[in-house]
Amino acid sequence: MGDLARLSGGSFLVMGRAGMDLYADPPGTRAEEALRFTTALGGSAANIAVALVRQGCRAALVTRVSDDAVGRFCLRQLDDYGIDRRHVQVQSGDARTSLALVETRAVDCQSVIYRNNAADFAMNMADIEAVDFAAHSALVATGTGLAAEPSRSASFRAFELARAAGLPVVLDLDYRPYSWPSALMASVACARAAALADVIVGNDLEFDVMAGSAGKGLEKARSLSAEGARIVIYKMGEKGAITLTPEGEFATGIYPTRALKPTGAGDSFLGAFLAALSLGHPVRDAVLRGSAAAAMVVARVACAPAMPSRAELDEFLASHPGPTA
């Protein structure tokens, strides 16, 4: 397994999708009634990379974007956020970068995702083998990259090379049903990936899918911890999270906030959590910092632009009464 002490280097290699988000404007507007939209960088991997950089870490993204205006938008945004994109390849032909039509609504929020012939699924072995894994502190992979070939094989090759270089492997389950041919295939692929990961993060539904049965997710999380994963975080939305380590398990609550939307919380959580570990925070404190960052993002418009800086997160924690029990 990877050495978690390497996280202190603060340099993360993030693998997965980048895309363009279009937000109905002003906040509260339904997409079908909108007369204008605002743009933002999107995609789980890109959002996680932004969250890491905002927390003072370094992040490099491995993905593919389309050779068109949407792809170029993503490249420019990555530059603006200070994300290393030397391993972001441009996919020619009719591949398309992900496009999301999203509402800023806390209740009945619609999110329409266009993933037809997704460019990030074209990531291949050559893309992965061009990466100097030893130059980084950890590999962060999102489960959506496992949903299709050649991205699936490339992802597993990345796990192999990361482990060979002694890097911890972090898996965000990131289950999106529309990306997979079936829940069974998702279960098999995600379970295989989780067996290779040192840190596994997902929500209760995602662990249920990996377990192959509703209500069995926590049991699956516990089995992964028993089989060697160093940190497993089982998120339960408003009920908080259960974190499992070799030393045992503990529950944490959430930081109540006035949410504007439900999107972006998971990406913000993971970025702030990993950044906290890189700074030497204990696992419990890192989970709470992740939870606080998630609370901040759902109270702001968009995802990538909403990721808090380390100073903003510190201020929030100092002024907030604390997490729920």
- Number of structural domains (the chain) is 1
The model's confidence at residue 107, banded by pLDDT at 50, 70 and 90, is very high
CATH of the domain at 238: 3.40.1190.20
The model's confidence at residue 319, banded by pLDDT at 50, 70 and 90, is very high
Contact 77, 63 (CB under 8 A): no
Q: How confident is the model at residue 1, as a pLDDT?
A: 73
pLDDT digits over 178-231, tens only? 999 999 999 999 999 999 999 999 999 999 999 999 999 999 999 999 999 999
Evaluate if residue 269 carries a pLDDT over 80: yes
Q: How confident is the model at residue 321, as a pLDDT?
A: 85
Contact 7, 274 (CB under 8 A): yes
- Spatial strand order of the sheet with 98-102 comes to 36-42, 19-25, 98-102, 111-114
Q: How confident is the model at residue 61, as a pLDDT?
A: 98
pLDDT digits over 278-304, tens only? 999 999 999 999 999 999 999 999 999
Residue 113 makes CB contacts below 8 A (sequence gap 6+) with: 98, 99, 100, 101, 176, 178
The reply to whether 15 falls in a domain is yes
Q: Cα–Cα distance between 112 and 100 in angstroms, integer?
A: 6
Q: Cα–Cα distance between 229 and 232 in angstroms, integer?
A: 7
Mean pLDDT of 152-157: 98
Structural domain for 239, as ranges: 4-319
Distances (CA, A) of 58 to 68, 217, 274: 27, 32, 11
The reply to whether 130 falls in a domain is yes
Give the count of beta carbons closer than 10 Å to the beta carbon of residue 135: 12
The reply to whether 213 falls in a domain is yes
The reply to whether 325 falls in a domain is no
The reply to whether 324 falls in a domain is no
Evaluate if residue 2 carries a pLDDT over 90: no
